[in-house]
């Protein structure tokens, strides 16, 4: 049996990450999901959260993205992806402030509200 | 016959023009390398995006339920054309080629008495289009004060298009840009964005069934607007690589032409100088002989 599978993280600018790994946890739209080798083929998209590769070996913060897994190839496409180590406290707090401002706007639909509140949750957890 | 002084002035002016074109060529070459790299780095993203969308659209069984962005509004009345050009000139036929291709398309549409709407990206295309097609232009976008176009800028344009589509402002969307083949050749391209064109159906190739979470159409609804931004970003990247490539060739030609011109002028200059000397000598000699 395969113990590893290919992981690729691609942003519009470049390929961010391409390695083999054992497990990846993604913040899928309907809840967190951990992908292990020989997972069933799946397509899903992400809500704001943290991608965790190989149990805390590498972490990324994403706001949105699309995930495809088939035949032991995992592809994550995201235009808003930041490596967690490169985030500083100032950046996080300014992002928090911004999203809180967004949340207070009146003409938000439920979906947007759901996404933004998740973003706030996730960001404030990083801060701890 | 121009005087010696005039010739000297012309030579020096051509030489300084040559210096400018040479410098522009170097700058374009440096920028080209960067732009080319970016275009290549951007390819995996849009390729993967395409694959996923193909897989998704195969999974949709009931086409009447599919999102409008994929199958179109079912009408073919109003065409929205996005013409992407550069913000700067002096790059050979780069801008003209795109505009020419776009104009052909416009004329075809107008002949079929369909409605035409134009979005111009980049000032040079706007300059060339606004006289003839000014009344069709609905939006002008340029990135004149931006050094590097980021994905965010592209998604601004993409969001704009999606919004117009949702307001039923158009039925079909086509983008025009130059595809970068190599430094010498750039191919003007037109690409249909909405409805997303299905590639030839080769169903046998991939029969793997996917699990979708949430439902297919929900994912598609999230993905399709992103895909539009991605395609536009790809257009930007190809365009900027093409622009620099085209400018490099144009400036290379200009430098060479200036060199030829300087050579010709120098020969002319030397000849007239020699003629003047010979004339003076003849005058002196014939003066001495007559004594």
Residues of A within 8 A of B52 (CB-CB) are 43, 66, 68, 75, 77
* Beta carbons of A44 and B212 less than 8 Å apart: yes
Residues of A within 8 A of B233 (CB-CB) are 12
Q: Which is more confident, B199 or A28?
A: A28
- Any bridge partners for residue A9, and if so which? A17, A76
The question of ipTM being above 0.85 is answered as no
* C-beta separation of B271 from B263 below 8 A: no
The alpha-carbon gap from B37 to the nearest alpha carbon of chain A, in Å, equals 10
* C-beta separation of B120 from B141 below 8 A: yes
pLDDT at residue number B279 = 95
Q: Taken in order B207, B213, B218, B219, is the CA torsion positive or negative?
A: negative
Q: Where in chain B is the domain with CATH 1.10.287.80?
A: 4-21+251-289
The strand pair at A31-35 and A58-62 is best described as: unpaired
Nearest CA in chain A to B208: A41
pLDDT at residue number B204 = 42
Is residue B173 annotated as part of the catalytic site, yes or no? no
pLDDT for B216-233, tens place per residue? 777 878 888 888 888 889
Q: Any chain B CB within 8 A of the CB of A18? A: no
Give which of A43, A75, A82 to mutate to test B binding, by max B Cβ within 10 Å: A43
Out of A13, A28, A66, whose CB is closest to B223?
A66
| Mean pLDDT along residues B70-77 | 78
Token readout for B278 is 């010979």
Residues of B within 8 A of A44 (CB-CB) are 212-214, 219
pLDDT at residue number A1 = 52
Does B167 have pLDDT greater than 90? no
- Give the least confident one: B12-26, B48-62, B173-187, B240-254: B48-62
Q: Which of residues 225-244 of B touch A (CB under 8 A)?
A: 226, 229-230, 233
Out of B45, B213, B223, whose CB is closest to A10?
B45
Out of A30, A45, A75, whose CB is closest to B48?
A75
Residue from B83, B91, B174, B224 carrying the catalytic annotation = B91
Output the pTM of the full model.
0.84
Note the residue count of chain A: 128
Question: What is the C-alpha separation between B151 and B237, in angstroms, rounded?
Answer: 10
Q: What is the CATH number of domain B4-21+251-289?
A: 1.10.287.80
Question: What is the C-alpha separation between B105 and B239, in angstroms, rounded?
Answer: 19
pLDDT for B245-290, tens place per residue? 999 999 999 999 999 999 999 999 999 999 999 999 999 999 999 9
Low-confidence stretches of chain A (pLDDT < 50) are none
Residues of B within 8 A of A42 (CB-CB) are 210-213
Out of A15, A29, A44, whose CB is closest to B41?
A15
Please name the fold of domain B29-250: Pyruvate Kinase; Chain: A, domain 1 (3.40.1380)
pLDDT at residue number A56 = 75
Q: Any chain B CB within 8 A of the CB of A89? A: no
Out of A11, A42, A64, whose CB is closest to B210?
A42
Does B207 have pLDDT greater than 60? no
* Beta carbons of B208 and A70 less than 8 Å apart: yes
Question: What is the C-alpha separation between B124 and B187, in angstroms, rounded?
Answer: 18
What 3-state class would DSSP assign to A104?
Answer: coil
- Taking one residue from A and the other from B, the number of pairs with CB-CB distance under 8 angstroms is 77
Nearest CA in chain A to B214: A44
pLDDT at residue number A81 = 87
* Beta carbons of B226 and A79 less than 8 Å apart: yes
| Mean pLDDT along residues B194-216 | 65
Q: Where in chain B is the domain with CATH 3.40.1380.10?
A: 29-250
| Mean pLDDT along residues B19-34 | 94
């Amino acid at each position: 049996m395969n113990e590893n599978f290919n992981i690729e993280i691609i942003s519009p600018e470049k390929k961010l990450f391409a390695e083999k790994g054992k497990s990846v946890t993604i913040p899928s739209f309907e809840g967190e999901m951990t992908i292990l080798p020989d997972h069933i083929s799946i397509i899903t998209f992400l809500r704001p959260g943290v991608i965790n590769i190989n149990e805390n070996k590498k972490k990324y913060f994403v706001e949105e993205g699309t995930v495809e897994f088939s035949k032991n190839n995992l592809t994550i496409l995201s235009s808003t992806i930041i490596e967690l180590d490169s985030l500083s406290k100032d950046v996080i707090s300014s992002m928090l402030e911004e999203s809180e401002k967004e949340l207070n706007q009146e003409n938000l639909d439920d979906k947007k509200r759901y996404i933004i509140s998740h973003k706030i949750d996730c960001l404030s957890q990083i801060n701890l | 016959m121009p005087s010696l002084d005039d010739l000297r002035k012309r030579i020096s002016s051509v030489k300084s023009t040559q210096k400018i074109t040479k410098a522009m060529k170097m700058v374009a070459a440096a920028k080209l390398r960067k732009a080319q790299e970016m275009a290549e780095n951007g390819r995996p993203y849009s390729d993967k995006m395409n694959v996923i969308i193909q897989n998704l659209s195969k999974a949709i069984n009931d086409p009447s339920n599919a999102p409008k962005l994929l199958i179109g509004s079912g009408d073919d009345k109003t065409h929205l054309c996005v013409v992407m050009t550069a913000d700067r000139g002096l790059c050979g036929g780069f801008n003209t080629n795109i505009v020419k291709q776009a104009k052909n398309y416009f004329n075809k549409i107008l002949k079929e008495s369909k409605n035409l709407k134009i979005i111009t990206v980049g000032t040079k295309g706007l300059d060339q289009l606004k006289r003839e097609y000014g009344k069709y232009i609905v939006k002008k976008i340029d990135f004149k004060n931006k050094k590097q176009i980021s994905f965010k800028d592209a998604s601004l344009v993409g969001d704009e298009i999606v919004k117009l589509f949702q307001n039923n402002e158009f039925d079909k969307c086509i983008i025009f840009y130059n595809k970068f083949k190599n430094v010498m050749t750039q191919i003007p391209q037109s690409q249909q964005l909405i409805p997303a064109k299905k590639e030839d159906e080769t169903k046998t190739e991939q029969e793997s069934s996917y699990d979708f979470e949430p439902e297919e159409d929900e994912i598609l609804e999230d993905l399709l607007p992103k895909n539009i931004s991605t395609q536009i970003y790809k257009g930007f990247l190809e365009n900027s690589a093409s622009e620099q490539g085209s400018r490099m060739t144009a400036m290379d030609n200009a430098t060479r032409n200036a060199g030829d011109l300087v050579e010709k002028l120098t020969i002319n200059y030397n000849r007239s100088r020699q003629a003047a000397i010979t004339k003076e000598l003849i005058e002196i000699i014939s003066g001495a002989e007559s004594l």
